[in-house]
Structures are given as structure tokens and as C-alpha cells.
């Protein structure tokens, strides 16, 4: 299979191989150029016009709306996936005895905001999967009349399994349960249309598969869910503009037609982060996420086909719809994994060590030579006796 090569749109990587997009995605060159332009605006503050204060966040929202199939006005800008989780956890009006279902072993950002609600009389219950990933029947059996929310991840950071959002979402809908998903390890590497997929809210970082700067993120939720939130947030630039300050000041009142932008993170212009992130999003969209997904899956296939199965076990799904762009593997002697990880680092190849296993996460900036370089080190590794 011929793998398209987009590597010249990124870098330079200085003879190193970055296979850890599940931690940080690299900025495309076009985004790096926009970051430099944002710096030049701050060097000459007269460049920070009122128009740019409104144009930057709107540009990001337009791109994110295209990415997930939602109107731009339904996008809430954040600085992480945790931003949206906290907005939901602290904004949904709870009653004593309400129940939230989580998956044991999920990523901490998915669980902690909900666990903190126990002090309010909300019950948080963890489902213990029988296998490496939660089955839909396990969710169905766990839902009780008190269940208000089920929250989990689309692609598990430590196991690499991709959840079937359609199946799990339909179970939640049939039981009147709000389905909240952290999509951070999938969005940008696989397509998602919230207008079709039965999810009620998603939260996402911008700095992994969406190739934005650190400190970027967003959330989306069904408009009726957003309107039901009881959350005291009144950021002035969501309600006014800098030009309004030139007018005579009168008693302030809260606008009633803000919609989702009422909950945007403070500092929405955020030139250093949101300007290059908009460029990264537009770069991915111009290629099309389907094309990006095909490229990434070709890299995953090349790795799985080339790894020595006599010495390594693939722990994440090797094929099928549950396969993601996160490849989890272990040496046949798991005690060797730390040494394998170090051997990769010594060769200038950056993966990750998570929960005692190795993780390889390629994306658009990688090509077949990057995969072959990693395979060469892994398959040649001998380790300690």
C-alpha cells in the first residue's frame, strides 16, 4: 500500500521521529507562520484591532463547526478537554441521589470533575469492564432509574480501543441518559458528525490530533443541554466588544441571546494560541479528515504488519472498527518495556510508556520511513537476559 507523504508540511524534526501524537501533535508549518504573525501583532499593539479580537475566535469556531458537523455558534471555546467537563459537571442542575456512570480506569480528566460532585449528594458509580474495553451490554446492565449521565472516552489513552459511539449513544438515548464523551484521542484522526452520531456533549483538546498549540480545546453540547446549565459565567467580551467601552457607561444588564458563546473561556481572542490553531484546523479540513484517517490507518497497518509477533504482543485492537491510531504493545517479557522505551529514545524515536506498556501514535506528519525506523529498533532489541 502506498502511503501519502505529508511530512514536508511539518517540522523540522532534526533527525528525530515523533510517534507520540497521543501526547502532543506537531504544528504544521502554516500554523507556525501564523503564530509568528500573532507575535508581530503583540510587538506592535496597534495591530490588535477590534476586528481581530472578534475574527480570531470566530475563525476557530467556524473550523471546529465544519470539523464536527455543527453550527459555529454551538462551539464553546476552551483551553483543554477538562474545561468542557467542568462546565458540564458544575452546570447541570443536580438533585440528591442523581447518578453518574463512569468507566473504571478511564483517563483522569474524564472522571475527576464528576467524582468531585459526590459532596453534593450525587452518586458516582464506576463500571468495571470484563475485558479491555467496556461492552455495550455492560453499560445497558449498569443503567439505573437514577442514572443521569454516562461519561467516557472515545479512544482510550492507555488501551487504544475506540468506542462505537453510535451503539453506546443509542443505549443512552433509549434510557434518557446524557452521553458525554471526551473525543481528544480520536478527533482529527477519524471523522465525527455530531448531527448524526447520538452524543449529547463532547469535549476535546486542541493539541493532540488537531495539531494546535498547548492550552487549546473546545466543547460542544446539544443546544437544549447547554440552555439547561445553571452556571454563573459572565465574561464581558462574550457580551460586549471593546468598542462598547467608548460609549457612555450605563447600568449593565446581561444579554439573553448569547447562546453557547456565553461559556467561552476567558480571553477568547488568545492570539498566540487560537490564530495558529485555526490554521492547523483549516489545514486538516482542506485535506479532509477521511483522507487524514486513511493516511494514519495506513501507518498503523504498516507498524502492526512489521512488528515481530514472536517478541511483542499488540494489546490494542489490531483490526476492525475498534482499532484506533493508538498502538499499545508489550514485549513478551513486560519487564523489558522500560528498556525498550529507552532504546527508542536513544535512537531519537519518541513514543510513550503508559501503564507499563509501550504506545506508538503516528499521525499526518509521519511517513513510512518513520514507521520502518521504529520497527528497526524494536525488532532488533535484545534486552537483558
Instruction: For residues 189 and 50, state if they share a domain.
Output: yes
Does residue 376 carry a pLDDT above 90? yes
Q: Please tell me the distance from the alpha carbon of residue 272 to that of residue 260, in angstroms, as a whole number.
A: 23
- Give a yes or no: residue 251 inside a domain: no
Would you give the DSSP letter of residue 116? G
The model's confidence at residue 195, banded by pLDDT at 50, 70 and 90, is: very high
Sign of CA dihedral 169, 149, 134, 172: negative
Query: What is the pLDDT, as a whole number, of residue 204?
Result: 98
Is 60 exceeded by the pLDDT of residue 187? yes
Decide if 155 contacts 106 (C-beta within 8 A): no
The DSSP string of 179-245 is EEEE-TTTBTTB---TTTS--SEEEEESSSTT---TT-EEEEE-HHHHHH-------HHHH--GGGG
Buried b / exposed e along 147-168 (16+ C-beta atoms within 10 A): bbbbbbbbbbbbbbbbbebeeb
Kindly state whether residue 24 falls inside one of the protein's structural domains.
no
Residue 32: all three cell numbers together: 507556525
Overall residue count recorded for the chain in this entry: 385
Residue 26 lies in a domain: no
| Same domain (yes/no): 269, 182 | yes
In the block, which residue shows the cell 508549518? 29
Flag whether 1 is in a domain: no
pLDDT at 292 over 60: yes
Domain total for the chain?
A: 2
CB atoms within 10 A of CB 171: 17
Query: How many CA atoms lie less than 13 Å away from 11 in the CB half-sphere?
Result: 15
Same domain, 182 and 263: yes
- CA of residue 380 relative to chain centroid, distance: 34
Q: What is the pLDDT of residues 237-287, one digit of tens each?
A: 777 777 777 777 667 777 777 889 999 999 999 999 999 999 999 999 999
Name the strands in the sheet holding 123-127, side by side, starting at the edge strand that comes first in the sequence: 75-78, 217-221, 201-205, 178-182, 147-153, 99-103, 123-127
Task: Answer yes or no: do 43 and 154 share one domain.
Answer: yes
Residue with cell 459565567: 233
pLDDT score, position 250: 66
Rounded to whole angstroms, the Cα distance separating 11 from 292 reads 18
pLDDT-derived band at 1, boundaries 50, 70, 90: low
Q: In the chain, pLDDT over 70 holds for what percent of residues?
A: 98
Q: What's the CA gap between 199 and 189, in Å, rounded?
A: 18
d(Cα 93, Cα 87) in Å, to the nearest integer?
11
281 lies in the same domain as 303: no
324, 158 contact by CB (below 8 A): no
User: 92 and 120 in one domain?
Assistant: yes
**CA–CA separation, 72 and 125 (whole Å):** 34
- Tens of pLDDT, residue by residue over 299-340, are 999 999 999 999 999 999 999 999 999 999 999 999 999 999
Whether residue 162 sits in one domain with residue 100:
yes
Cell numbers 470484563 label which residue? 130
Same domain, 13 and 140: no
Higher pLDDT, 2 or 180: 180
Find the CATH number of the domain harbouring 78: 3.40.640.10
Look at residue 250 and tell me if it is in a domain. no
Region 48-57: mean pLDDT is 92
Residue 385 lies in a domain: no
Q: For residues 186-208, give the mean pLDDT.
A: 98
Q: What is the Cα–Cα distance from 190 to 204, expressed in whole angstroms?
A: 13
Assess whether 151 and 275 both reside in one domain. Answer: yes
Give the angle subtended at the CA of 46 by the CAs of 45 and 49, to the nearest 5°.
Answer: 100
Residue 172 falls inside a structural domain: yes
87 and 182 share one domain: yes
Is 122 within a domain? yes
pTM of the shown model: 0.94
Summary mean pLDDT of the chain:
94
pLDDT at 105 over 80: yes
- CATH number, domain at 297? 3.90.1150.10
Return the pLDDT at 319: 96
Residues 35 and 48 in one domain: yes
Please give the residue range of the domain that contains residue 196.
31-244+257-285
pLDDT in tens, 116-166: 999 889 999 999 999 889 999 999 999 999 999 999 999 999 999 999 999
Statement to judge: residues 275 and 138 lie in one domain: yes
Amino acid at each position: 500500500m502506498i502511503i501519502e507523504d505529508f511530512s514536508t508540511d511539518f517540522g523540522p524534526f532534526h533527525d528525530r521521529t515523533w510517534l507520540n501524537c497521543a501526547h502532543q501533535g506537531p504544528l504544521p508549518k502554516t500554523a507556525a507562520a501564523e503564530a509568528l504573525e500573532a507575535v508581530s501583532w503583540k510587538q506592535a499593539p496597534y495591530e490588535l484591532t477590534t476586528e481581530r479580537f472578534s475574527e480570531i475566535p470566530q475563525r476557530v469556531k467556524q473550523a471546529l463547526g465544519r470539523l464536527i458537523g455543527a453550527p459555529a455558534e454551538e462551539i464553546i471555546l476552551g483551553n483543554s478537554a477538562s474545561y468542557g467537563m467542568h462546565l458540564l459537571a458544575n452546570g447541570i442542575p443536580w438533585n440528591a441521589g442523581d447518578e453518574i456512570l463512569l468507566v473504571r480506569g478511564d483517563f483522569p480528566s474524564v472522571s475527576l470533575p464528576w467524582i468531585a460532585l459526590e459532596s453534593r449528594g450525587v452518586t458516582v458509580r464506576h463500571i468495571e469492564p470484563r475485558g479491555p474495553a467496556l461492552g455495550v451490554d455492560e453499560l445497558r446492565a449498569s443503567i439505573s432509574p437514577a442514572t443521569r449521565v454516562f461519561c467516557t472516552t472515545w479512544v482510550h489513552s492507555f488501551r487504544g480501543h475506540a468506542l462505537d459511539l453510535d451503539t453506546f449513544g443509542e443505549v443512552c438515548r433509549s434510557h434518557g441518559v446524557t452521553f458525554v464523551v471526551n473525543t481528544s484521542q480520536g478527533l482529527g484522526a477519524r471523522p465525527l458528525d455530531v448531527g448524526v452520531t447520538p452524543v449529547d456533549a463532547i469535549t476535546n483538546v486542541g493539541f493532540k490530533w488537531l495539531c494546535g498549540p498547548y492550552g487549546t480545546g473546545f466543547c460542544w453540547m446539544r443546544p437544549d443541554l447547554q440552555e439547561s446549565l445553571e452556571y454563573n459565567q459572565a465574561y464581558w467580551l462574550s457580551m460586549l466588544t471593546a468598542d462598547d467601552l467608548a460609549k457612555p457607561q450605563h447600568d449593565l444588564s446581561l444579554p439573553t441571546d448569547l447562546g453557547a458563546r456565553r461559556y467561552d473561556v476567558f480571553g477568547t481572542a488568545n492570539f498566540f494560541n487560537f490564530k495558529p490553531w485555526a490554521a492547523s484546523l483549516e489545514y486538516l479540513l482542506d485535506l479532509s479528515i477521511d483522507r487524514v484517517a486513511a493516511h494514519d490507518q495506513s501507518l498503523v497497518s504498516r507498524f502492526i504488519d512489521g512488528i515481530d509477533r514472536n517478541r511483542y504482543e499488540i494489546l490494542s485492537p489490531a483490526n476492525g472498527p475498534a482499532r484506533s491510531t493508538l498502538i499499545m504493545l508489550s514485549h513478551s517479557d513486560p519487564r523489558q518495556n522500560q528498556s525498550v522505551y529507552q532504546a527508542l529514545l536513544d535512537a531519537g524515536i519518541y513514543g510513550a510508556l503508559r501503564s507499563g506498556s509501550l504506545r506508538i501514535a503516528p499521525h499526518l506528519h509521519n511517513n513510512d520511513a518513520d514507521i520502518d525506523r521504529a520497527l528497526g529498533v524494536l525488532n532488533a532489541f535484545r534486552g537483558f537476559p
